[in-house]
C-alpha cells in the first residue's frame, strides 16, 4: 500500500500576524509550520501504516522553496518513510490551477494507491488544490474526511464525511484522493529517534526540479495560472462602531432586531 500525503509549509498565524512598517504581511517574522489540515492528513496516513507497517509506505510531498525541506523532515520524524521536495524557480507564482497541475505532474511519475491532502491551507484558505489534483489524475476525490477506513483486500477506502446537515459514508475504489480536516485526529509528536534519523539521513528526501515532472510548460508557474492578482492589500482595521445604552431591554431588543433586519440577517 503506497500512500502519498501532500503537505504545505505555511506561516503560523497562532502567535498573531506580524506586519511590516509599510503595512504588508511580514512572513519572515512568522514561524513556518506544517499546515494543520495537512498534518491531520499525515496522521491519518500514519495510522493506516500502523495497522500493517511492513506493507505500507508513506511518502510526503511538498512544493515550495528549498526551505520547505523543513516540513518534510518534520513529517519523517513523525514516521513518514520518504519525502519529495518539488522546487524550481519556474514553478513560482502559481495559482491553484498551476499548483495542482504541477503536483499532479510529480504524482504521475510516482506510485500511489491513496493520496491524502489537507482540506485547505491556512494562508490561502482555498480548499482547491486537493480536488484539482484528483481531476488532473482522473481519480475519485472525497473531501472533508472525518474518518478513513481502508479495505486492503477489496482495494477500496470508506470515508465518513460531513456535509452541512448530514454525513455521507462513501466508498471509493483505489487509487483515490482524500482531503482531511484538522478535526480528523490529534497528530502525533515527533520522536527523538525520528528527529535524529530524519535529519541525519539526507537521502530520505528527494528533490525534483521541473524536468522530473510530467506536466506541460503552459500549465506551470505564473504563466500557467489562469488567475491573476489585480490588487492585494492588507485589510484596513475597521473603526469603532456604534455603542448605545438603551433605556430598557425592549429598546435594546428593538435596536438589535433593527440592525439584523437592515443587514438581511433575518
Partner 1 sequence: MGLEEYKGVFIFAQQVDNEVSSIALELLGKGRDLANDLDNKQVTAVLIGSDVKGLADTLAEYGADRVIVVDDPELKEYRTEPYAHALASVINEFKPEIMLVGATAIGRDLGPRVSARVHTGLTADCTQLDIGDFPLQPVEGQEQRHKQLLMTRPAFGGNTIATIACPDYRPQMATVRPGVMQKIEPKKGAKAEIIEYNPGFTPNDCYVTIDKVVKEVSSVANIQDAKILVSGGRGVGSPENFKILEDLAACFKGGMVSCSRAVVDSGWKPKDMQVGQTGKTVRPHVYFAIGISGAIQHAAGMEESDIIIAINKDENAPIFDIADYGIVGDLNKIVPELTKKIKAGA
The candidate with the shortest Cα–Cα distance to 59, out of 75, 48, 43, 47, is 75
Nearer to partner 1 by C-beta: 90 or 170? 170
- By CB under 8 A, the residues from 92 to 121 that bind partner 1 are 95-97, 100
- 21 contributes a contact to partner 1 by CB under 8 A: no
Nearer to partner 1 by C-beta: 66 or 266? 266
Please state the closest distance from residue 195 (CB atom) to partner 1, in A.
26
- 47 contributes a contact to partner 1 by CB under 8 A: no
Nearer to partner 1 by C-beta: 75 or 184? 184
- By CB under 8 A, the residues from 179 to 198 that bind partner 1 are 181, 183
Please state the closest distance from residue 194 (CB atom) to partner 1, in A.
27
Please state the closest distance from residue 1 (CB atom) to partner 1, in A.
18
Exposed (0-12), middle (13-18) or buried (19+): which is 25, by Cβ within 10 Å?
Answer: middle
CB-CB contact of 184 with 159 (8 Å):
no
Q: How many CA atoms lie within 13 A of 258 on its CB side?
A: 6
What mask of x and - would describe binding to partner 1 in positions 128 to 167, judged by CB under 8 A? xxxxx-xxx-xxxxxxx-x-----------x---xxxxxx
- 245 contributes a contact to partner 1 by CB under 8 A: yes
Tell me the β-bridge partners of 57: 2
* Cα–Cα dist 161/168, whole Å: 5
For 264, phi then psi, to 5°, come to: 60, 25
Give the total of residues touching partner 1 (CB under 8 A).
Answer: 79
Neighbours of 134 (CB within 10 A): 24
Nearer to partner 1 by C-beta: 200 or 243? 243
Please state the closest distance from residue 196 (CB atom) to partner 1, in A.
31
Do strands 82-86 and 114-118 pair parallel, antiparallel, or not at all (unpaired)?
A: unpaired
CB-CB contact of 49 with 3 (8 Å):
yes
Amino acid at each position: 500500500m503506497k500512500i502519498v500525503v501532500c503537505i504545505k509549509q505555511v506561516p503560523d498565524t497562532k502567535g498573531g500576524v506580524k506586519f511590516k512598517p509599510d503595512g504588508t504581511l511580514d512572513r519572515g517574522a512568522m514561524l513556518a509550520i506544517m499546515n494543520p489540515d495537512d498534518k491531520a492528513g499525515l496522521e491519518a496516513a500514519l495510522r493506516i501504516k500502523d495497522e500493517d507497517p511492513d506493507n505500507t509506505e508513506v511518502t510526503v510531498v511538498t512544493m515550495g522553496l528549498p526551505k520547505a525541506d523543513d516540513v518534510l523532515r518534520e513529517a519523517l520524524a513523525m514516521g513518514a518513510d520518504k519525502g519529495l521536495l518539488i522546487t524550481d524557480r519556474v514553478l513560482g507564482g502559481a495559482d491553484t490551477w498551476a499548483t495542482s497541475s504541477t503536483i499532479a505532474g510529480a504524482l504521475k511519475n510516482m506510485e500511489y494507491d491513496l493520496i491524502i491532502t489537507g482540506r485547505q491551507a491556512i494562508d490561502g484558505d482555498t480548499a482547491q488544490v486537493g480536488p484539482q489534483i484528483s481531476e488532473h489524475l482522473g481519480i475519485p476525490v472525497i473531501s472533508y474526511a472525518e474518518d478513513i477506513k481502508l479495505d486492503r483486500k477489496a482495494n477500496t477506502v470508506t470515508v465518513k464525511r460531513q456535509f452541512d446537515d448530514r454525513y455521507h459514508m462513501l466508498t471509493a475504489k483505489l487509487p483515490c484522493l482524500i482531503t482531511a480536516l484538522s478535526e480528523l485526529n490529534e497528530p502525533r509528536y515527533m520522536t527523538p529517534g525520528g528527529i535524529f534519523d530524519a535529519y541525519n539521513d539526507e537521502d530520505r528526501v528527494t528533490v525534483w526540479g521541473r524536468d522530473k515532472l510530467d506536466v506541460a510548460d503552459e500549465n506551470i508557474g505564473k504563466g500557467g495560472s489562469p488567475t491573476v492578482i489585480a490588487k492585494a492589500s492588507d485589510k484596513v482595521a475597521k473603526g469603532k462602531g456604534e455603542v448605545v445604552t438603551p433605556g430598557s431591554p425592549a429598546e435594546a431588543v428593538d435596536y438589535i432586531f433593527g440592525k439584523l433586519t437592515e443587514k438581511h440577517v433575518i
